[in-house]
Structure 1
Amino acid sequence: MKITRSELLDLVYRFYPRGMHKISRIHVPPGELVYVDTEEHRRLVEAANRGRAEYPTWEAMIHLLGDRYGLQNESLSLVSGGADPAYSARIYRPKDLEPVPSPNSRASLSFHVSLLGPYYGIHDAGEPDEIPAAVAQEIEATYPGYQPIPPELGNEVVPDVDMDGVKMMGEATIYMCLFSPKWTWVDP
C-alpha cells in the first residue's frame, strides 16, 4: 500500500501539537496551556504506555538480531517512563572488515519501529552487506503489516512541530516525529 505525505502528516499531528513550543510550565504564566497539557501529548504518552506493555516483543526481536550483529538497544528511556514515539536500536559494523565488532566498531545503521502507526525505518550508512535486508525481514516478521517510510517522505520537514532533540521548531522531520531524534545519529 502506497504511503502519502498527507497521511504521514496527519499521523504526526495526532501526536504533536502544531505551533506549540515544548516549554516547561515554570516558564509560562499560571493557567496558560503548555505542551504537556495538549490532547496530542496525551496521545503520545498513551502510545508510549502501549509500547512499554508490548516491550517483550521488541526485546525478543532485538535479541535475535543482537545474536548476529553488534547491537545497542536505544529504547531504555521508553522503558523507564519516557514518551518516545518508537522503539529504537543501533547496529555496529566493524571497521576495516573486522569479523567481530570491537572498540573500533562504529554505529552505521539504526532502526526504529513506530508506536504511533504501522511504520518502521532503517537508517543505513550504505555499506554493501545483508544487514539492512535482514533487519527489515525481522521487523516485518515481528510486526506484520508494518512498512518502511520512503526517504522522500520521511526526510520532509514538519514546519510547525517542536519536539525533544531538535533545536527549534521547523527542524523536525517526519522520520524524527514518528521514530526518534536518534534518527540523525547515523549519517547515511
Structure 2
Amino acid sequence: MKMTRSELLDVVYRFYPRGVQKMQRIYVPPGERVYEDTEEHRRLVEAANRGRAEYTTWEAMIHRMYERYRLQNESIDLFAGGVAPAYSARIYRPKDFEPAPSLGSRASLSFHVSLLGPYYGIHSRGEPDEIPAAVAEEIEATYPGYQTIPPELGNDVVPDVELDGVLMGEATIYMCLFSDVWTWVDP
C-alpha cells in the first residue's frame, strides 16, 4: 500500500495539536489553549492506554528477540503512565561495547511499533548484517499489515507540532509516530 506525506500528516495531526506549545498551565495566559486539554492529546493518551492493554504482544516479541540479540526494551515507561506514541527497543551489536570514544555504548539499531497507526520503523547505523531484515520480519509476523515509512517521508519536518524536548519546527514524522527516541541511533 502506497502512503503519502499528506496521509501521514493526517495521522500526526490526529494526535498532536497544531501550533500549541507543550507548556504547563501556570505558564500560559488565562484563556489560551493548554496542550493537555486538547482533543489531540486525549487521543494520544487513549493510544498509550491501548498500548498498555496490548503490551503482552510486544513483550512476547521482545522475549523472542532477547534470545538472539543484546536488546533493551524502551517501552517500560508506559506502565508508569507515560504517553508514548510507540513501543520502542534498542539492539546493541557486539562492537557497540568495544572501547571506542566515538561510539561509547550507543545502540546501533532501534526499532519502533507505532500505537498511532499501522507503522513500524527500524533506525540503524547501516552495518552490513542481517539484523534489520530479521527485526522487520519479526515485527511483520507479530503485527500483520504494519509497514515501514520511507525515509523521504519519515524525515520530513512537521512544522507546527511540538513534542517533549523537541521544539516546534524540529519534529519529524518519524519522531511524531515513534517518539524522539528515533534520534537515539545515529545513522
Corresponding residue for 2:175? Answer: 176
Cα-Cα RMSD: 1.5
Where has structure 1 moved over 6 Å in runs of 4 or more? none
Q: 1:91 to 1:180 in 2, by over 3 A?
A: same
SS of structure 2 residue aligned to 1:68: coil
8 Å Cα contact 2:96-2:108 kept in structure 1: no
Alignment of 1:154-165 (within 5 A): 154-165=154-165
Report how far residue 33 of structure 1 moved: 2.0
8 Å Cα contact 1:73-1:88 kept in structure 2: yes
Corresponding residue for 1:28? Answer: 28
Q: 1:97 to 1:31 in 2, by over 3 A?
A: closer
TM-score (norm 2): 0.94
Aligned identity (percent) is: 82
Q: Which runs of 5+ in 2 are unaligned?
A: 99-103
Q: Is 1:149 paired with 2:149? A: yes
Q: 1:20 corresponds to which letter in structure 2?
A: V
Measure, in 2, the Cα distance between the counterparts of 1:181 and 1:165. Answer: 8
Report how far residue 28 of structure 1 moved: 1.5
Corresponding residue for 1:134? Answer: 134
SS of structure 2 residue aligned to 1:127: coil
Q: 1:22 corresponds to which letter in structure 2?
A: K
Q: 1:125 to 1:28 in 2, by over 3 A?
A: same
Report how far residue 105 of structure 1 moved: 5.5
Alignment of 1:71-150 (within 5 A): 71-95=71-95, 106-150=106-150
SS of structure 2 residue aligned to 1:83: coil
8 Å Cα contact 1:95-1:106 kept in structure 2: no
Q: Is 1:62 paired with 2:62? A: yes
Query: CA offsets, 1:129-169, max 9 Å, x none?
Result: 11000000000000000000000000000000001131x21
SS of structure 2 residue aligned to 1:32: coil
Report how far residue 90 of structure 1 moved: 0.2
Q: Which runs of 5+ in 1 are unaligned?
A: 99-103
Across the two proteins, how many residue pairs are aligned to each other? 182
Measure, in 2, the Cα distance between the counterparts of 1:96 and 1:27. Answer: 42
